[in-house]
Every structure is written in structure tokens, then in C-alpha cells.
């Protein structure tokens, strides 16, 4: 099955306690698609400048990612750089240069419009909504957002997520969006805003999936070395939605299997954990599906009782 | 089976966003014993002043807690007071009055010295060691400590935990004790210091049990209302050690069953979560074993996949 992924494809400058790279492939859509590619065929909708390197294009294509929707325009690609704190729980942004991304107005290629699985990376809510309006037979639509849109584009954001099946955000965003400090009550409020499925990511502490009738918690995988957390949340999203697309499970289905949802959360966690093992998206240059399934089993071993 | 519990029995003044009590029964040994009482018969070794109320004595006795080792001396009982932050993740200590606890020199009653299960609450490491030396046939010895002892009594603490089967501490204490920021590497270092079993408590995020050959993670129970987190860590300890004592499982046993250890961690989590539902130890006035087992099952439902 296919998963249409809309978001940024960018270059990042990253500094962690383990080292520094001045320029490496990045962006939400990149991480989501790389992660999802282990489960489904991702189709990226994004824009890059004429500085976008052929080797990065080739890398994405080598992971079975369809790049027909990756627009190339004159100018420079989106660039972000930041420095992580010693414990890597905080990061400071040094530069955000939108460049060609400033005028991003995502248009789905005709061939994507009937695809049923759509994941919207963290971009302006109005753009997310315009993409949603372009798909004709959605079985699974959802995505990510961030504090900036919650604070300054609230009405836009509410109109956007009203049409979503699922929302993936982190715990501080969930508190901000709902105005509730308690996670369970925050989740209940957010599910009244539209998405019937909510995944709250808690960084190193794991994630919680909420539905009306149950919730499912997974602790974070304990890595011995967190090399670079950049993209981990997007890889979670890619693993989660990619797995559902691969299983051809729409979240709106009346009898969606709870077990499948739980497994999707675990695959999200698995992919997020791998992402942190090397700089940028480099872990996905060598990661294979057997390793993914081995870590899935490790989650079972570490949490079963 | 019996569990000997050594630590403070005290009065607390507590203020949380949900209310304020000027004086309520508290202390590590109180919480540990109340929690453990659902699984084993606790025997408290502690000291209180002549202000210790008969009704508090009666409450503990009503929970099948043996108080033969609760010494009563002239003076005032240990008193602590503090205020919790809005999200209850931080607290500020307003008063710490050691009173009769300043001269606490725990002596096990003769009848306790052959009891095989011993849990040492957070007191001066040298005192913990002297108690350990008083038991003749231990099958399970362990306990808690805190940042103050780690920083200023390090040698004493290392000599103490060297003789323990298990250590229960929180994540910041584990990082401080080991000098390692990464939890997995911190755990490996601490297990080289003596305890072959380490439980790292992560507050609302749950806990991780480490052994040489495996680790087991449990996410925190998602309470809809955290009323007062005072004592939750001690209740975790009481549930963990109380369950093992109740099952008559010594951690030093060569073939200790991994499943039993995992269940002990869950019971610890269950008891810690109940503790937060009312002020001080008040939840244990009504909590029954059926509710405990129901929540154990809830943990299974929320984490299984």
C-alpha cells in the first residue's frame, strides 16, 4: 500500500554532544518517508531548491520512496540548524531559513489523489487542510503540528484537525492545545476536537495512544547511545502510519482491530529509536526489516508480564 | 510472610494545587508498610515522639502492620512540610524538623532478626548498614536512598549498597550515583556497585527494573487526578518488596523467576498510583486487595500487544 507524505524536505546543521554535521539531509517528510518505507510505499509531496543534491535524491529513491511529488524550484532548500543540550532533552535553534519552502503550496500529483493513506507533516495548518481537500477517498488522514501553530494559528489548526482521523503530538503540545495539564483529560478534550485517535509522544519516555474506549502505553526504548534525536518524532509518525497503510487498515473503519493499532504504536517507537542511533537519517542507510522486527520483539520482551 | 521496614514515621504538612493539610501521618516507613501490607505482614522499625496520635497508631495496626518495633520517646515526631508546583513535578520543602528522628538508632527487636525480608527506607547509609548487620538470615535486603547521601556520604553509601540485593532510586539519583547520563549505562555501573537488581523510578513516567540479563519497563499509570504525589515512591518500594516477601521469593535465589520480578514491578507501580489519589496515606484507609488486582489487570490491558 501507498502512504502520501506531505511536509518539508530540507538540510539540517546538527550539533549534539557526540559530534557535529554542517549540512545533512533532513526535514519532516524525509524522516517520515524513510521510516514508513519499511512498511509501505511512501510518496513525498514537498519542495526543494536547485541545491538539492542528486545523492540525496538517489538515497530516498533507493528506499522505494516515490519522488514524483518532490518539486524542484530555483533557490535554496529549507535549512535548519540547532544545538542539543548535554542530555539532549533540549535543543536551541541557531538558524531557520525557509528559502523555497516559504512559498510551498502543496499540490498532489493526479496519481496521488485517490490514494487512501495521507500523513501530513508539521506545516501551516491551512496548507494541511488544502492537501486534505485534494484527496478523494481517504481511509486514513492525520498528522503532526507544533506549539507555534497551536499558539498563533489556533482557529486554523482546529478547522484542520477536525477532519483528521489521527493527531500525533508531543505531551507539551497536547497540554497547550487542550489547556489541560493532566494527560488523560488533555487527550479526552483533544479527541472532542475531531481526531478519534490521538498519539501523544513523550520523547525518551515513550508514547500513549488514546481512543474513546481504551488507551495503550509504550515506554521509550532504552538506547545505550542516543547519538542524535533529530527526526525521531517524525520517524515515529512514519512507522505508525506506514504500518497501518502497509496493513491496509483505515482508522475510520468501524471495526478497526485494536491489536493492529497497538502494533502500529510499537513500530512507531521502534523507528523513532533507530533514528537516534546515527546522525540525521543515516541509520536508514543500512537498517533492514529484520532489524526492525527484532526490535519489535525486544519491546515485547521488555514490557511483557 | 513478613517484611521488616526501617525508616521514618512522621507528620507532614502538604500543599498541592488540590488543597492543603497542616499535619497528616507520613514518613517513608509509613508509606512502605501501608503499601506492603496488601501482600505481606510489615514490621515497622522507627521512632516517634510522645505527640504521636493513638488514631495513627490504630490506623497502622488496622492494616495488619506490626508496631512492636515502633519506639516512642519523649519529644516531637519528625515533621516535614512542602508545597508542590502547579504540575506537581516539583516540590519545595518548607520545613524539615528531625526532632526525635535526629537520634534514631534502629535496633531490631529480637523477633525480627531472623526475618528474611528487609526493606530499608531512605535514612543515613551508616544506619541502614547497622540494620543490615542485625539480620541473620536475609533472603532479600534492599532499599532507597537520596541525592543528599549520594553527594555527601558517598563512601558510606557505597559500603552500604554493596551488601544489598536491590536498590530502588529515581532516575536523577541513578545518574548522580553512576556519573552516567544514559540510563542503561547508569544501571550497568550501579549493578557493579553491589545490588544485582536495580529499580529506577521515573515518577509519572513509570519505572525500569534492571538485572544482568534483562530489563523490564513499565510506563506510569495515567491517573485522571493526581491529588498528592507524597509517598508514591515509597509505596512503589512497599508494593515491590511486599509482593516478593508475600510470594516468599528472595532475590538472591539462583533461579529467581523473572515473571515474579516483573509482577513485583507492576504491583509497585499499582501501589504508587493509588497513593497519589488522596492526601497523604489516606487512600489506604479504604483501598482493598480487589482494587489492587483490578489495577494490575488494567496495567496489562494498557501495555499488552
Q: How confident is the prediction along chain A (305 residues), in pLDDT tens digits per residue?
A: 999 999 999 999 999 999 999 999 999 999 999 999 999 999 999 999 999 999 999 999 999 999 999 999 999 999 999 999 988 888 999 999 999 999 999 999 999 999 999 999 999 999 999 999 999 999 999 999 999 999 999 999 999 999 999 999 999 999 999 999 999 999 999 999 999 999 999 999 999 999 999 999 999 999 998 999 999 999 999 999 999 999 999 887 767 889 999 999 999 999 999 999 999 999 999 999 999 999 999 999 999 99
Q: Which helix (H) or strand (E) holds B143?
A: strand B140-144
How far apart CA A99 and CA A48 sit, in angstroms, is 9
Q: B217 and A303 in contact by Cβ < 8 A?
A: yes
Q: Report the distance separating Cα A83 and Cα A60, nearest Å.
A: 25
User: How many alpha carbons fall within 13 Å on the CB side of residue A304?
Assistant: 10
Query: Which residues of A fall within a CB distance of 8 Å from B185?
Result: 224
Contact A219 B217 (CB under 8 A): yes
Chain B residues near residue A297 by CB distance under 8 angstroms? none
Return the pLDDT at B66: 98
> What is the pLDDT at residue A256?
83
Q: In terms of Cα–Cα distance, which of B168, B154, B148, B132 is closest to B45?
A: B132
Closest in A219, A225, A266 to B305, CB measured: A266
How large is the ipTM?
Answer: 0.94
Q: Average the pLDDT over B214-225 and give the result.
A: 96
Q: Which secondary structure element, helix H or strand E, spans residue A25, and what is its range? A: strand A19-26
Predicted pLDDT at A216: 98
Taken in order B267, B270, B272, B274, the sign of the CA dihedral is negative
Looking at residue B256, what is its pLDDT?
Answer: 83
Of residues A218, A224, A263, nearest to B185 (C-beta): A224
- In three-state secondary structure terms, A20 is strand
Confidence of residue B250 (pLDDT cuts 50, 70, 90): confident
Give CA–CA dist B261/B267, Å, rounded. Answer: 10
Cβ contacts (< 8 Å) between A301 and chain B: which residues?
214
- Distance between B174 CA and the closest CA of chain A, angstroms: 14
* pLDDT computed for residue A89 by the predictor: 82
Spell out which residues of chain B touch residue A227, defining contact as CB-CB under 8 Å: none
Q: What is the mean pLDDT of chain B?
A: 96
Residue B5, pLDDT score: 98
Helix (H, G, I), strand (E, B) or coil at A6: strand
Which pLDDT does position A55 carry in this prediction? 98
**Extended beta strands in B211-258, E state:** 215-218
Question: Are residues A216 and B303, on separate chains, in Cβ contact within 8 Å?
Answer: yes
CB contact under 8 A, B223 and A184: yes
How far off is chain A from B299, nearest CA to CA, in Å?
A: 9
Chain A residues inside the 8 Å CB shell of B208: 219, 222
Q: CA-based angle B295:B283:B209, to the nearest 5? A: 50
Instruction: Give A-chain residues touching B305 at CB under 8 angstroms.
Output: 216, 218, 259, 262-263, 265-266, 299-300
Q: Do A302 and B184 touch (CB under 8 A)?
A: no
d(CA B172, CA B175): 5
Between A and B, how many residue pairs show a Cβ–Cβ distance under 8 A? 82
How far CA A146 is from CA of B22, B188, B194, B230, B282, in Å, comes to 42, 36, 45, 33, 40
- Beta-strand relationship, B215-218 and B207-210: antiparallel
Nearest to A49 by CA among A11, A92, A22, A18: A11
Q: Which cell numbers hold the place of B266?
A: 507492576
Domains of chain A: 2-303 (3.40.1190.20)
Contact B215 A222 (CB under 8 A): yes
* Cβ separation B205–A224 shorter than 8 A: no
Using CA coordinates, name the residue in chain B closest to A171: B205
What does each C-alpha distance from B229 to B50, B170, B200 come to in angstroms?
28, 14, 17
Is a pLDDT exceeding 90 seen at residue B254?
no
> How confident is the model over B90-116, as a mean pLDDT?
95
pTM tops 0.90, yes or no: yes
Amino acid at each position: 500500500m501507498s502512504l502520501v507524505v506531505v511536509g518539508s524536505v530540507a538540510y539540517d546543521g546538527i550539533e549534539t554532544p557526540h559530534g557535529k554535521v554542517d549540512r545533512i539531509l533532513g526535514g519532516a517528510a524525509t524522516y517520515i518517508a524513510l521510516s514508513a518505507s519499511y512498511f509501505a510505499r511512501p510518496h513525498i509531496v514537498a519542495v526543494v531548491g536547485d541545491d538539492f543534491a542528486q545523492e540525496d535524491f538517489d538515497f530516498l529513491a533507493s528506499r522505494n520512496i516515490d519522488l514524483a511529488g518532490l518539486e524542484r524550484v530555483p533557490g535554496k532548500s529549507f535549512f535548519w540548524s540547532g544545538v542539543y543540550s548535554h542530555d539532549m532533552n533540549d535543543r536551541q535553534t541557531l538558524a531557520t531559513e525557509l528559502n523555497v519552502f516559504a512559498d510551498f503550496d502543496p499540490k498532489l500529483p493526479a496519481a496521488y489523489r485517490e490514494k487512501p493513506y495521507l500523513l501530513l507533516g508539521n506545516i501551516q495548518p491551512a496548507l494541511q487542510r488544502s492537501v486534505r481537500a485534494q484527496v478523494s477517498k481517504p481511509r486514513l488522514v492525520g498528522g503532526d503540528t507544533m506549539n507555534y501553530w497551536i499558539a498563533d494559528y489556533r482557529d486554523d489548526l482546529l478547522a484542520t484537525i477536525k477532519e483528521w482521523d489521527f493527531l500525533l503530538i508531543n505531551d507539551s503540545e497536547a497540554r497547550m492545545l487542550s489547556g489541560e495539564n493532566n494527560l488523560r483529560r488533555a487527550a479526552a478534550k483533544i479527541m472532542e476536537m475531531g481526531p478519534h485517535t490521538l498519539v501523544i509522544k513523550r520523547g525518551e519516555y515513550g508514547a500513549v495512544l488514546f481512543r474513546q474506549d481504551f488507551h495503550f502505553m509504550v515506554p521509550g526504548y532504552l538506547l545505550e547511545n542516543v547519538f542524535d534525536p533529530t527526526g525521531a518524532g517524525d520517524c515515529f509518525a512514519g512507522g505508525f502510519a506506514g504500518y497501518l497503510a502497509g496493513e491496509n487498515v483505515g482508522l475510520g473503519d468501524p471495526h478497526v482491530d485494536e491489536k493492529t493499532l497497538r502494533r502500529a504504536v510499537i513500530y512507531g517507537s521502534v523507528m523513532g529509536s533507530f533514528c537516534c542511533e546515527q546522525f540525521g537519517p543515516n541509520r536508514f542507510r543500512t537498517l533492514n526489516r529484520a532489524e526492525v522486527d527484532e526490535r519489535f520483539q525486544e519491546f515485547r520482551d521488555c514490557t511483557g508480564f
